[in-house]
Amino acid sequence: MITMVFIHGYLGLPILGFLISLLISSKREGLLSILGYTTAFLQLMLVLFYGVQWFFTDLNAHQFKEISIYKASNYEFFIDFMVDKLTLTYAFMGSMLTFLITIYSRYYLHREKGYKRFFNTILFFNIGFSIIIFSGNMETLFIGWEILGVSSFLLIAFYRERLLPVKNALKVFSVYRIGDVGIILAMWLLHHFWHHNVTFVEMNQTVTLHQHLAQNSSIGLIIAFLFYISAAAKSAQLPFSSWLPRAMEGPTPSSAIFYGSMSVHIGAFLLLRTLHFWENQFVFKLGLMIAGLLTAVIASVISRVQGTVKSQIAYASIAQIGLIFIEIAYGWENIALLHILGNAFLRTYQLLISPSIVSYKIREQQYDTLIEVHQKTWLQRILDKYYLLSLKEWNLDNFLYKALWNPLKRMGRNWKMLNFRYVFWVMAVLLMLGLVLRNNEHVLAPVIRQRLPFFFSFWGFLIAVKAFTEKDSVRKSLTLIMFNHVSISIALSFNAHFDNAHHIWYLSGIVIAWLIGYFLLTQMRKKERISLDDFYGHIYEYPKQGFLFLLVCLALSGFPITPSFVGEDLIFSHIELNQVGLAFFTAFSLVINGLATMRIYARVFLGPHVKNYHQIAKRSS
């Protein structure tokens, strides 16, 4: 009983605080800040009281199934909570640091025009963080995971009238979406591994787990690798390390709470939460150790040659998290938790005092006389190469662009058949073709029937890529996003047990959001110039439309404010284990859709205003 009260209290406080903060006027700075740090302080008191009681009583893990949202024959989407040592450690860290940072922010952001928006977003972030650390299954964790990604985007783009914060927010969000692929595909494979939506308590049951791993060792290794992809993307480990310094474009308090302490350690939380699943997989443990070691060495050297304080702290934190990953791989859970606490508090302190460093300490740089190349020894030449490579941050940004984003952009730009004039006709033909084939699949050859889901999912993937790379028409990009979801729905309709109710769960929020978004863009187009070739900053003069369109973008990307979030998990439960291509292209379509929607929002509403009578903002904060 006391555990349930603790869970409801800890999770309910930030939700209540966030809702109240929306109603407070932006002029009431004192009330907003009091609400922020009072919420965190009450959370801290709760975790201290319960932690002492838990320590002196049972020291056991407690799991509670909160609510079942949707239930079918072999599928159930339910909210599940769990409390154990890992939960309490992160809860203490989160509430303590949020309390300190909100007090700091009260004075640091005084008279900042985004003051209310900052505290709204911090409370929203607190909701996501709390849901993650109390999650008892992957579905509940994914709800908090998505909230963390969106709140991160909003805080990096806090100075939304400047160009670089907005561009860097999109870069960071793109890396987060890569991590989402890992979570989505891991949930899909876990469903086939246990044949139901598994909880973390079930994953920790040694006997049952060994039986499953003995029968499906290769699938278990793939799931563990997907966990690492998600954890590495969230914690800025190789090859995703370059996003963390770019995230420092936001205000100093948000840099401290997100990228110094709480959000950046969520990847370590995911590995610790799933530790018992992969702890006996030697290949994965060895790979995790090597990745952690490489990250620690490379990030440590990069941090020593950075020209800004925040970038130095960011790469130093990445290096420490690499060591934490090694400790987790060895199974040193308690040492890893202590290391996480130490690193989080230290980086928070360093980031909070970073604006004051220039005022009392001027960095002195001494440049030695360059030595002629022919006079250098081979060791000096290697060190010089290493130094220059570290100055370039090991070209990690270029690697991601060349390996992932540039091929997608080329693919979308070369596919010119879907211009706005023909897009509705093409999609109408596709929809009719899908309906005809679905109603007459009994006359199709088995080979063709088996390949139809892959065909429609691949077509949907191409549509998503086209939406992501569209440069001109905003309405066309938004319409392509909606049609991508329709294509996915058609692809899944050929699988058994995917009935009309499942289509409604998946598409209801998507279609409604598209209609609202299309109407908003049409109205905006009558008054202003809008396109995707630049950042237009229309939120200056249309703040209400900008907020409503943000909600539309979240709904189109499957954010947990519509039934479509449940629908996304539902469609993966109907993808068979041998339909790897269908799962891959469906997952990537959802990820690219999320990027495309936030790209539309950023380019239409954020950035320097296109009208010259508004003040031109500097490129960087």
* Mean per-residue pLDDT pooled into runs of 10, the chain (621 residues): 88 94 89 93 94 85 82 78 93 94 90 89 94 92 92 90 88 88 90 82 76 75 93 90 82 83 91 91 93 92 82 90 95 94 92 70 45 62 75 73 75 65 72 78 77 87 88 87 90 78 85 93 90 88 91 89 82 84 90 91 89 61 47
Please enumerate in sequence order all residues whose Cβ is within 8 A of that of 212, keeping only pairs 6 or more positions apart, or say none.
Answer: 193, 194, 220
| Cα–Cα nearest to 82, from 92, 95, 91 | 91
- What are φ and ψ of residue 575, in 5° steps? -90, 125
At residue 23, the pLDDT reads: 92
**Structure token digits, residue 353:** 């005092």
| Cα–Cα nearest to 424, from 369, 463, 372, 368 | 463
At residue 417, the pLDDT reads: 60
**How many Å apart are CA 255 and CA 41, to the nearest integer?**
20
Which residue's entry shows tokens 């809860």?
A: 91
- 76: three-class secondary structure by DSSP: strand
Q: What angle do CA 327, 339, 46 make, to 5 degrees?
A: 125
Q: With contact defined as beta carbons under 8 Å apart, do 81 and 7 qualify?
A: yes
pTM tops 0.85, yes or no: yes
- 16: three-class secondary structure by DSSP: helix
Q: Is the dihedral of CA 149, 153, 158, 164 positive or negative?
A: positive
Number of residues written out for the chain: 621
- Helical ranges in 195-240 per DSSP H: 200-203, 206-215, 217-235
Distances (CA, A) of 445 to 28, 162, 449, 450, 452: 68, 57, 6, 9, 11
**Structure token digits, residue 411:** 């693919």
At residue 369, the pLDDT reads: 43
**How many Å apart are CA 42 and CA 39, to the nearest integer?**
5
**Structure token digits, residue 305:** 């040659």
Q: With contact defined as beta carbons under 8 Å apart, do 457 and 487 qualify?
A: yes
| Cα–Cα nearest to 142, from 97, 77, 46 | 77
At residue 367, the pLDDT reads: 41
Give burial (CB, 10 Å; 0-12/13-18/19+) of 486: buried
Peptide bond into 239 cis (omega under 30): yes
- 440: three-class secondary structure by DSSP: coil
At residue 416, the pLDDT reads: 62
